[in-house]
Amino acid sequence: MTDAPHPLLAGIIDYAGLFPPARLPMDEAFRRFLAHRSGADGRLIARFVCPAVRLPELAPLIEDVDRGAQPVPIAVLGTGGDDPPAFAASIESDAELVRAFTGRSAGAAVVDAFEVKLPAEGHPSEVVDLCFHHLADLAAETPAAFFETPLVGAFPDPGPVALAIAAAGHEIDPVRRAGLKIRCGGLAAAAVPDVEAVAAAVIAARGAGLPLKATQGLHHPFRRPDAELGATVHGFVNLAAAALLARRHGLDETTVRAILAEEEPGAFRLDRAGLAWRDLAVDPRSIADGRTVAFTGFGSCSFAEPRDDLAALGWI
């Protein structure tokens, strides 16, 4: 492999050091982000993840960033709400915080993603419409908005949810800067969705033409038992391969489940020819395209764990 990351791995991690289990203080999390970003494997990192309500803490740290460098990409997490009125109020408040932050950062940072949980009540299309209404004038280019739908408990079918997001997003912005976000783990075994739920989300996103983003529980490339958590956890390579191969080959849900459930690292291959799982492969150009429209990456509170695992595989 060359020093440049494979198209699969370039910018695949959004650094979420503020969040559990790391829960770093803002100054420490941002310092680590900058250090990782400027390091030998810095091109694995895309954004710094920050809740909207903590942007005032981040702003003075951004002011110390070298203005001659590339702007720091920020993924802002919206506050959200359980019902449409609460969601509307939170979006309005979050938008003001983003507006103040971008004004203060003066080009040293750019908010290019906004992520928020869908409320338990209300139709997704109404929420997407409301969200884009408040985001549209925050920057020269409207941030991509990813809407999180649950995959544990009594969760809604992600298929209709994804279609509603896509329809509303396309109506608002023809380049479809809306996406589907899923949570793949947490601090308890019950927070880990099963393979069937994640596969349904992959198929739903592909069917709606939405990019998929993931968060939590994806510190390692491949699906593996986690004795401390008491659960088998998902792998970010499994997820990326499932989304990219599903797009390239029109895979059915059964095959997507098999890719997500694969625990044998040797079943996957990453090289100049592309990415493969067993007999299914996708070429580098299709991977690069797919990283925009099928799988954008994942949020992780750890950079070292995924980086070290990838290095051990010889993939970076």
pLDDT surpasses 90 at 68:
no
Give tens-digit pLDDT for 93-118. 999 999 999 888 878 999 999 999 99
- Of 192, 298, 160, whose CA–CA distance to 242 is shortest? 298
pLDDT of the residue at 120? 87
pLDDT surpasses 70 at 56:
yes
pLDDT surpasses 50 at 161:
yes
Cα separation, 70 vs 67, whole angstroms: 8
pLDDT surpasses 50 at 176:
no
| Other C-beta atoms lying within 10 Å of the C-beta of residue 156 | 13
pLDDT of the residue at 1? 39
Cα separation, 248 vs 245, whole angstroms: 5
pLDDT of the residue at 133? 79
When pLDDT is averaged across residues 213-227 and rounded to a whole number, the result is 97
pLDDT of the residue at 276? 98
Report the predicted TM-score, pTM, of the whole model to 2 decimal places: 0.94
Beta-carbon contacts of residue 248 (< 8 Å; ≥ 6 apart): 282, 286, 290
Residues 224, 232: contact at Cβ < 8 Å? yes
Residues 11, 297: contact at Cβ < 8 Å? yes
Cis peptide before 124 (omega within 30 of 0): no
Within the chain, strands assigned E span 13-15, 45-51, 72-77, 109-117, 144-148, 178-183, 212-215, 224-226, 231-233, 268-271, 274-277, 280-282, 295-300
When pLDDT is averaged across residues 269-288 and rounded to a whole number, the result is 97
For residue 160, which amino acid is it?
P
pLDDT of the residue at 111? 92
pLDDT of the residue at 107? 81
Cα separation, 250 vs 207, whole angstroms: 10
pLDDT of the residue at 169? 63
Angle formed at CA 227 by CA 226 and CA 228, multiple of 5 degrees: 95
pLDDT of the residue at 139? 57
The CATH code for residues 13-222+296-308 is 3.20.20.70
Cα separation, 32 vs 108, whole angstroms: 17
Q: Which of 129-143, 145-159, 245-259 has the lowest mean pLDDT?
A: 129-143
Q: Around 12, how many Cα atoms within 13 Å sit in the side-chain half-sphere?
A: 29
When pLDDT is averaged across residues 128-155 and rounded to a whole number, the result is 82
DSSP letter for 20, please. Answer: T
Residue 173: pLDDT band (50, 70, 90) is low
pLDDT of the residue at 172? 53
pLDDT surpasses 70 at 271:
yes
When pLDDT is averaged across residues 262-271 and rounded to a whole number, the result is 98
